[in-house]
Structure 1
């Protein structure tokens, strides 16, 4: 096991790469990339970094030269032989050859496209533009680089013993969380913390701790490189990116209204079983489920990623019952802003009524709250989203208006088309 404090102390080289592999990314990005490669390879998209926590002035913290070095290094990466073998030959979700030979031939030749970086009012304007299958793979490494460079900047002037004590406290804090989750019948947790992790080494340590202490309760990690290296299940399905881009490409209000279902129809053609998970909140869960085609009720489950999770779960249970499905045979995955208290409360409320699983993200892999002066390492909310497709702006409404994005006139249009009324605004922590 790596001595993380000593490793951080030794961050003195000209460049110490943060991302060392194209599969140091979330599994759902690779699944979606294959779907996009198959269905929309010629779509041009723009992705942009969005710091929701404006009080964190990243351009004042993270050195621009270091950031460019890290991004340039990522552009030099290609799939290694061992990584290709893992993707081509491993079993994912019980299925061999999840990734087609055509997709793998393309991926093995891929180098990520150029980026555009500038400073604006204390923040970094970081954008990527080009073919959708290429550009979409920037999202996770770009976020991971920014987050870790911020961590390195905060830790830079700490002495060796300060670092040892800091990481000892962080390890103890995580271990106490994990202890509380031990021995809970039917509890299932996966690591979803790649995007906003403290560092790669810290995420890897968290995964090892969960593996050792939780046993079968810990079902895997979204991080493909860690899954490969630690012989764990790679976990993930699909994300808001797909309906956002499909919707942006719609020419009429009716096409817009059908766009989220077209996404899942394409997904249905490609995947089965536990990969058939609905993410309904892109344009409001209530409206999505009310207008959903009957065949979607036969899918395995639903992921709840915004709004009040209790309300989202009750909505899903009610919808399944209305469609003649037994909720006890369905899976609900909670994945928004989780920590151990929320995990325990939601499991207690819904276990037995549905199958319950949790994607534990930032507050697993980047919880250093209260451990540094001024809470300088506290996690914050940052995303990298598709903001345009073929020159048209994208929109996300969410079940929490504080997570909405897009031009005001387009947001108003989407609310009208999808029948989204008043929503409860909730604090976005991470």
Structure 2
């Protein structure tokens, strides 16, 4: 059994789920799976993936897990009461070989947002682990340990003592076993330089800080749930602030690209939110633009946090630290490069929301190829509304 606890997911699933419970309990959504890695045949593993999902749907939160979640100051008691009754339901998820016959698989999740939001992270972890345990029956753990040691050595240099990283690698990890070994090694070797993990299960088990705020799906859903499309990003930030009253104050910047984000992220939001997270496009250009935006809005950038989380490896972390470390607060979330670096090609797999309340939703980021929407007319309309240029690959 790959997933043994419903806590084995990212914190932002719980923070978004609480917003859904309190503000959008009737919303209906659809998610779809995509493997961006070419030439990978996942169809032999469909039955095994289905069985792991069946086992996942049998899990419930334990009393100790609910007590842990309830100890977080931003988690409310009625949400804990809901989680006490919660389980994932198999009827909302379907796994099939793609009719294209090209080795791809179709995973569709469809139903109430409140009851489907928790599928994404564990299902991605299941697909990864099923694939790698079948294709790499004798894992190169020694190679992985050597690579991890090199990363730690880079971070341990005296001039990088203030550079902290966090684990963001649940969804694309090689395996649950390897994920935990990486975390334990980072705790042992990095000490305070290891800031925590997005994985709530390991945060609970190893007394780490759980990290995360919002993901793309939240702001995408607001396209269908807000008063009008042009104000959907503003609406999403306002609802978030209303729910958390100053907690969890990191805004996601790339659902419509940086230019559209900065148009909406005015002085009010600059002062209200603690910072922003980068997840697509050139991180150096993004950081410079955000720092200038704070200055233009009479906000001291040194009081704000920039979080970088897009395909990071340690050399890039150190380059970003050198560029911005003395100019603002920094945080780095490293995912695949920590939890799936054993010498094999990692799977670039995602599960994205594609509809909310029957309406197409999408993100148009600063990285071509990251978008998932099958409605070209809607994408064109979205670009027009948010003044987004067409990029190659989008």
TM-score (structure 1 length as normaliser): 0.86
Give the CA deviation at 1:338: 0.3
Query: How many residue pairs align between the two structures?
Result: 385
Q: Deviations over 1:320-368 (max 9, x none)?
A: 0110011111110000000011011111111111111100111110112
Aligned twin of 1:126: 107
> Is 2:186 aligned against 1:210?
yes
SS in 1 for 2:30: strand
Q: Deviations over 1:7-46 (max 9, x none)?
A: xxxxxxxxxx100011100001111110111110100111
Residues 41 and 133, structure 1, Cα contact 8 Å, conserved in 2? yes
Match of 1:312 among 276, 280, 286: 286
Q: Deviations over 1:395-423 (max 9, x none)?
A: 11011122122122111111110011254
Q: Deviations over 1:146-204 (max 9, x none)?
A: 00001101123x4xxxx4xx211211111111111114132121100011111111111
CA distance in 1, matches of 2:17, 2:362: 20
Quote the RMSD (CA, aligned, Å).
1.6
Aligned twin of 1:57: 41
Alignment of 1:29-428 (within 5 A): 29-60=13-44, 63-89=45-71, 91=72, 96=73, 98-114=74-90, 115-120=93-98, 121=101, 122-156=103-137, 158=138, 163=139, 166-182=140-156, 183=158, 184-249=160-225, 255-273=228-246, 275-298=248-271, 299-369=273-343, 377-406=344-373, 407-423=375-391
Residues 249 and 392, structure 1, Cα contact 8 Å, conserved in 2? no
SS in 2 for 1:404: coil
Give the CA deviation at 1:425: 6.4
Q: Deviations over 1:91-114 (max 9, x none)?
A: 4xxxx3x22111111111111122
* Mean CA deviation greater in 395-404 or 286-295: 286-295
Query: Structure 2 regions of 5+ residues with no counterpart?
Result: none
CA distance in 1, matches of 2:245, 2:34: 33
Aligned twin of 1:13: none
SS in 2 for 1:396: coil
Residues 75 and 113, structure 1, Cα contact 8 Å, conserved in 2? yes
SS in 2 for 1:401: coil
CA distance in 2, matches of 1:232, 1:357: 15
Residues 196 and 209, structure 2, Cα contact 8 Å, conserved in 1? yes
CA distance in 2, matches of 1:203, 1:291: 37
CA distance in 1, matches of 2:393, 2:337: 21
CA distance in 1, matches of 2:96, 2:36: 18
CA distance in 1, matches of 2:192, 2:219: 33
Give the CA deviation at 1:130: 1.1
Decide whether aligned partners of structure 1 residues 380 and 65 sit closer, same or farther in structure 2, where only a CA change above 3 A counts: closer
Residues 308 and 333, structure 2, Cα contact 8 Å, conserved in 1? yes
Residues 233 and 264, structure 2, Cα contact 8 Å, conserved in 1? no
TM-score (structure 2 length as normaliser): 0.94
Give the CA deviation at 1:272: 4.8
Residues 400 and 424, structure 1, Cα contact 8 Å, conserved in 2? no
SS in 1 for 2:47: helix
CA distance in 2, matches of 1:422, 1:246: 22
Residues 19 and 74, structure 1, Cα contact 8 Å, conserved in 2? yes
